[in-house]
Amino acid sequence: MKSILSAAALSLVASVSFADTLTLYTSQPNADAQKTVDAFMAAHPDIEVDWVRDGTTKLMARLMAEIEAGSPQPDVLLIADTVTLEGMAQDGHLKAYKSAEAEAFDPALYSADGYYYSTKLITTGIVYNTGAEMQPSSWADLADASLKGQIAMPSPLYSGAALIHLATLTGDKDLGWDYYDKLAANEARAQGGNGGTFKAVASGEKPYGVVVDFLAIRNKADGSPVEFVFPEEGVSYVTEPVAILETAKNVAAAEKFVDFVLSQQGQDLVLDMGYIPARNGMDVPAGFPARDEIKLMAFDPAQALKDAEANKEKFAAVFGSE
């Protein structure tokens, strides 16, 4: 009897230990991921978080391999964009969860069915070198013939944010694919990611560029000779959404994590990291305009997912592949 009770006790201890461990896959930069995990564990000291960090593409390849093998590891995802999670939701890989914190968010920033929730706004706008002759204020300005050969932008064949930017602008009735045809005619260089584009503008190699907001604003604060513009037509954006896996082993802890990153405390953390919080009524980091002055362009993750391959093919036909 003693051995049976001991085995039962050990089993109970093991199950409690297992239930109190949350596994997170995230594409956040390492420092941001550590801050997120530390803050969550401080708020929930009964939950231990095991986390894996990598780029979204590599994380998704790893996760898909795990799913194929029948052993997906994460309980919760915190990755770059809603298009990726929309695909997972459509394939039945995400668990719906209606967080009470959603009341403080624009409905456009989360899945109506509760499959994923945006946690921040990383917008794409125009950066220009302070030595440039023109000071652009709109996307249309980049199609001006006077800027021919002076524009750099990340390629949607390489950058996820650039692919979402492409879907957003080509879906706009006043811009559309005609706008990209004009950029090609203006010899805009589409190559690599945001980092290379920013370096080209900061160095003066290309006086004008298309980049994510924080890259330009933070570097300007550090003395880089650049200015960042939120174009008058609006900006495209990625939102680093959070989602629970359908196969999550610790659903209760995963729901607490979702609630935490969406809460006032979690969104204050986003602000401290230097990003625009997705939650309404929040401040913005130094160097950013007020939230209500930033116009977000219309974006449909499901449509962007549907059009992704066609958009890549058409872009390659217009600009050439890298």
Locate the domains of the chain by residue range.
2-119+239-288, 122-237+298-319
Q: What is the pLDDT of residue 321?
A: 76
Q: What is the pLDDT of residue 3?
A: 44
CB 81 within 8 A of CB 238: yes
Right CATH for 2-119+239-288 from 3.30.470.10, 3.40.190.10, 2.40.160.100, 3.30.465.10: 3.40.190.10
Q: Per CATH, is 122-237+298-319 categorized as 3.30.1330.40?
A: no
Q: What is the pLDDT of residue 322?
A: 61
Q: Fold identical between 2-119+239-288 and 122-237+298-319?
A: yes
CB 161 within 8 A of CB 194: yes
Ranges under pLDDT 50 in the chain: 1-5, 7-19
Report pLDDT digits (tens) over 270-307: 999 999 999 999 999 999 999 989 999 999 999 999 99
CB 246 within 8 A of CB 63: no
How far apart are the C-alpha atoms of 125 and 128, rounded to whole Å? 10
Q: What is the DSSP letter of 189?
A: E
Beta strand 120-129 pairing with 226-229: antiparallel
Report pLDDT digits (tens) over 153-199: 999 999 989 999 999 999 999 999 999 999 999 999 999 999 999 99
